[in-house]
Structure 1
Amino acid sequence: MSVSPHRSDATAPRGPDDLYATPPPWDIGRPQPAFLALAEEGAIRGRVLDAGCGTGEHVLMAAALGLDATGIDLAARALRTAEEKARARDLTVRFVRHDARQPADLGEHFDTVLDCGLFHVFDGEDRTAYVGGLRSVLPQGGRYFMLCVSDRERGAWGTVHKVTRGDIQTAFSDGWHIDSVEPSAIELSVAPGHVEAWLVTLTRT
């Protein structure tokens, strides 16, 4: 995640790298269970882009499946950690310091885009730009899988916008088919252990 849940009473980070000055609670050292289940089901295919990849667990998960995997994030500190993990695991991946709101600037297309904890940071024009960018890098039939904090979550999570089903329907009303919106969770390394989330599956039309 390039920017993700933090308690509202915590000191606000000054920039992306500040989120990784110490291991953040969403960085659990392994893939989120919801995304791991998708991988085990064979739902993650082809060229994979992880938007807001953080320290790279989902990019590495895709690479371990033999997939061409790229992660983008603005946090250079997180990307250095991701590259160290890739070397330690002997996996071939690509990490790029890049603004996830502008994936089209990569000049590439992907079959699958993963988003764990990024969509819910954006609203307004930023959200519109992000979704438009996703649409530009996914060809017809491409899949987008998203984990975002949902409005079922009762805790306060700082800069995160708790996402409703209506928010998802509005954001992806043009050029997408919403395949499913399922209750899920983003696991944390600290109490309460997880945050309520939506697991969203969309297909580019």
Structure 2
Amino acid sequence: MSAFPLRDVDFDAAYQGKPLLKGSEVTFDLAPWDIGAPQPAVVELERDGRFHGEVLDVGCGLGENAAFLATRGHRVTGVDGSATALEEAARRAAKRGAEVTFVQSDATSLTELDEQRYDSVLDSALYHCLDDEQRQRYAEALHRVTAPGGQLNLLCFADIDEGLRFPMSVSQENLRTNLGKHWDIEEIRRNAYTTSLTEEAFVQVGIQALASMGFSIDPDRIRRDERGRILGPVWHLRAKRR
């Protein structure tokens, strides 16, 4: 069983520089997912023509992906449950001259979007933040607000050991089980997720403290980008709405 109880995660607190996990004293100077730019994997998806029409970035966080897609000419709505994240996302988007509609909503219901139908959906590191009951409701909610034939591109932490293991990592079987009822899964393949973490950051926070939360790191095997940022293994799922 994971040492990381998903329902005790407080993302709004993390965006305020407080502990990510309730009851923990572990904090990060910079949120592990805040790289101050769009995810390189999302940039590649856009270059490959994976987004069209009305685009929904669900779990948009600080809005870097949403702002990037908007600057590429897409009509984008960014959704997140954290008011703190959305306030900063709006500020960053304005700084980049990107027009994005930001909406605060629970991703497992998306009731604020009931009048909308999106052609493309991006989930960059949201799915693994939900437990299985929430994932099933999330799959249904996404189906409801997406147009028939709409495309889903989802990136989530993979149950692959590349020297870095996240406690929320999921299997391909989990993706198929929870999404397959509403989505025709076309492909699941391995990709990489760029974090703001460096090996030094892990040491600063404390390897043992992170291990108590379910994180593990093997310095000899981790992958890094050219800036020394640690790359985590993710699944990239492509699916079409039924």
* TM-score bracket for the superposition, by shorter chain length: 0.7 to 0.9
For 2:238 and 2:65, how far apart are their aligned partners in 1? 16
Render the CA deviation track for 1:116-160: whole Å, top value 9, x for unaligned: 1111122232111000001111122101111100110464534x2
Contact 2:183 / 2:241 at 8 angstroms: preserved in 1? yes
The answer to whether the aligner puts 1:17 opposite 2:24 as a matched pair is no
Give the aligned partner of residue 194 of structure 1: 231
Does residue 1:122 correspond to 2:130, yes or no? yes
CA distance in 1, matches of 2:138, 2:112: 12
State the partner residue of 1:33.
40
Give 1:92 deviation, angstroms. 1.2
Per-residue CA shift, 1:171-201, capped at 9, x if unaligned? Answer: 1222321111110111111125121110111
Q: Which runs of 5+ in 1 are unaligned?
A: 1-7
Whole-Å Cα distance in 1 between the matches of residues 99 and 148 of structure 2?
27
User: Matched residues in 2 for 1:39 and 1:145: separation?
Assistant: 11
Q: 2-side partners of 1:37 and 1:156: how far apart?
A: 24
With structure 1 as the length reference, what TM-score do the two structures score?
A: 0.87
Q: Deviations over 1:52-76 (max 9, x none)?
A: 1011011111111211101111111
Q: How does 1:48-87 map to 2 (within 5 A)?
A: 48-87=55-94
SS in 1 for 2:149: coil
Could you report, residue by residue, the CA deviation over 1:32-86 in whole angstroms, capped at 9, with x for unpaired residues? 1111101011111111111110110111111112111011111111111111111
Report the residue type matching 2:39 in the other structure: Q
Residues 129 and 14 (structure 1), Cα distance of their counterparts in 2 relative to 1, 3 Å cut = closer
- Paired residues for 1:76-155 under 5 Å: 76-107=83-114, 108-153=116-161, 155=164
**2:50 matched to 1:43?**
yes
Q: How many residues of Structure 1 are paired with residues of Structure 2 in the alignment?
A: 194
Instruction: Please tell me the residue identity of whatever aligns with 2:154.
Output: M
Unaligned residue ranges in structure 2 (runs of 5+) = 18-29, 200-229
1:104 positional shift: 4.4
Contact 1:34-1:199 within 8 A present in 2 as well: no
Give percent identity, aligned residues only: 33
SS of residue paired to 1:84? helix
Please state whether the residue corresponding to 2:87 is helix, strand or coil.
helix
